[in-house]
Structure 1
Amino acid sequence: MRTPLSPLLALVLIALASGCRRPAGSNAEDAGTRAAPEMSPRDTVTVKGSDTMVILVQRWAELFMKAHPEAKLQVTGGGSGTGIAALINGTTDLAMSSRTMKDAEARQVHQRDPQGPVELIVARDGVTFYVRADNPVDSLSLAQLKAIYLGDLENWKDVGGRDAPIIVYSRENSSGTYSFVKDEVLGGEDFTERALTLPGTAAVVHAVSLEKNGIGYGGGAFARGVKELKVRKEPQGEPIAPTAENVRSGAYPLSRALYFYLPRPATGVEKAFIDYALSSEGQQIVTQTGYFPVK
């Protein structure tokens, strides 16, 4: 679990984030379909970071640029840590992250620009564990997931499956999803050396779909052609599926927020894009792409 932000940085994040959001009670326009916002000409706005969020943010950008041809956005992945590092060194305008910014990272952004960082929750997600569709195991407890990813459980028969070795897939350490699983499932301990590290969630899903004894993890939006495991908080507890209702309510134990981070309050194209992402139309796209809306 991360250390809480210092009072100064916490105030900066809260005050600035509220300044970037639409005023309460206003009918902010759906930027993809209504009157064009004020946007001064500028170079391409770069958006970099979380591989989990790439599908969603690329869709937002595609529709936003279709409605506003004068706006240019470039969206690339690389992992939450990569996006935040790019924000710190000034090589991206906006970072996507599937984890909260660490205190040290926030201080570096703040040193570069006293008005930042600005944190915005733009969608929600449930980290899911995938197995191949023909795997007889339908659910695992948090304790079993921890034991598998620490290397203490190595055979499916130990969790009610077939007598076969568990092939463990993981993400690279720059991934926000990697950090989330390490903190929330492994309690901060290191992944087993047996884990096969892959460069993106799509790669994990593909590997699991081919390996009948595999297990991997990632965002729910990527779960195509694989089975999502239900998760039990306690060894004998109720298996909870990563459904929209369970993620929004927090009943699913691995629910999380997805973030935009900026070095300063958004203006121009950046603000118009963020307003669109948080608009009713933008949040409908959240649902259509397999994530869960903020509201």
Structure 2
Amino acid sequence: MRPLHRSLLVLALIALVPGCRRPSGSAGADAGTPIAAAGPQRTVTVKGSDTMVLLGQRWAEQFMKTHPEAKLQVTGGGSGTGIAALINGTTDIAMSSRPIKDPETQQVRQRNPTGPVELAVALDGITFYVHETNPVEALTLEQLEGIDLGDITRWKDVGGKDAPIVVYSRENSSGTYVFVKDEVLGGEDFTERAQTLPGTAAVVHAVSLELNGIGYGGSAYARGIKELKVKTDARSEAIAPTARNIQNGTYPLSRRLYFYLPREASGTTKAFIDYVLSPEGQKLVTDVGYFPVK
């Protein structure tokens, strides 16, 4: 065999040996792979809150139009799922509709001592939905608590018709679930009669079909249903979840939506976050149905 042919054969065999291939640029697309093992051209992963997934996807789509070299992958699963991925090192950004908890912070720091980094990227108001034909216009926080705990079971007890209340809720990995449990139910569990659904869109769909239903979620998903006004108590004014009321904190169930990072951002991740917080990125917040932080 000629020396040149022999050299080419050796190079071909090396190329077939596992681990000797050049990076393809798609490493990190699998959310289950620790991002530390990925190459410099890997996909930036954004994972978590189902409330935020539509907004996250819109941000990513628009960012990649002006940064064609960038690759972003946005998936839902719930705030708890996103924070678990942050802890495990399998996402660059965790989307969360609730603040991270102290034990979760400590777990993140086991892998990244300087983390996590918290960024408020949008504002939202937890909205309680009822069917469009439901005559009830407003409920107090106490009434909402009674309904979700199962103490109030008929609409006539809160000013509606004589019909049973059908309660819809989110799964316990949802940040929206945690927010309502903490802020409305005082930390207690939802009634056993509550029907658990996998996302806000599913809750809205269920309520739109059930004349006696009530559910909750982010204001951006309120389509084909009625949004209830909320009163802090029986003597208070009923406040609607409008942009003005949510941004100035008048609406009782206003909240922030967060990005959590394992460490200070760099590279494509930093460029993406800069875009999210830019005037253009914050305009998308409004377009989707949430409210800007700036």
User: Normalising TM by the smaller chain, what interval?
Assistant: 0.7 to 0.9
CA deviations over 1:133-166 (Å, ceiling 9, x no partner): 1111111000000000000000000001011000
> 1:127 is matched with which residue?
126
Q: 1:173-214: per-residue Cα shift (whole Å, max 9, x none)? A: 000000000000000111100000000000000000000000
SS in 2 for 1:276: helix
Deviation at 1:42, TM superposition (A): 1.6
**Matching of residues 242-253 of structure 1 within 5 Å:** 242-253=241-252
Distance 2:137 2:226 in 1: 8
**Is residue 155 from structure 1 mapped to residue 154 from structure 2 by the alignment?**
yes
Deviation, structure 1 residue 236 = 2.6
Q: Secondary structure at the match of 2:291?
A: coil
Residue equivalent to 2:35:
none
In structure 2, the partner of 1:43 is 42
For the residue of structure 1 that corresponds to 2:84, the secondary structure is helix
Q: Which has the higher contact order (CA 8 A, sep 6+)?
A: 1
Identity %: 75
What residue identity is the alignment partner of 1:120? L
Aligned to 1:116: 115
Structure 2 residue aligned with 1:191: 190
**Partners of 2:52 and 2:102 in 1: CA distance:** 22
| Structure 1 residues without counterparts, runs of 5 or longer | 1-39
CA contact (8 A) 1:41 1:70 kept: no
Q: Indicate the SS of the match to 2:234.
A: coil
Pair 1:85 & 2:84 matched: yes
Larger Rg: 2
Counterpart of 2:16 in structure 1 is none
Matches for 1:1-295 after TM superposition, within 5 Å:
42-295=41-294
Q: For the residues of structure 2 that align with 1:69 and 1:41, how far apart are their CA atoms?
A: 16
TM-score scaled by length of structure 2 = 0.86
Unaligned runs of 5+ in 2: 1-38
Amino acid at match of 1:278: L
Q: Write the distance in 2 (CA, Å) between the matches of 1:182 and 1:76.
A: 24
Cα distance, 1:235 vs structure 2: 1.5
1:99 partner SS: coil
The TM-score with structure 1 as length reference comes to 0.86
Q: How many residues align?
A: 256
Q: 2:34: which partner in 1? A: none
SS in 2 for 1:125: strand
SS in structure 1 of the partner of residue 113 of structure 2: coil
Q: Following TM superposition, by how much is the alpha carbon of 1:237 offset from its aligned partner in structure 2, in angstroms?
A: 1.4
| Separation (CA, whole Å) in 1 of partners of 2:278 and 2:91 | 23
Q: Tell me which stretches of 4 or more aligned residues in structure 1 moved more than 3 Å.
A: none
| 1:41 Cα deviation after fit | 5.0
Q: Deviations over 1:205-232 (max 9, x none)?
A: 0000000000000000000101100000
* Corresponding letter in the other structure for 1:63: Q
Which whole-Å deviations, capped at 9, do the CAs of 1:117-137 have from their partners, x for residues lacking one?
Answer: 000000000000000111111
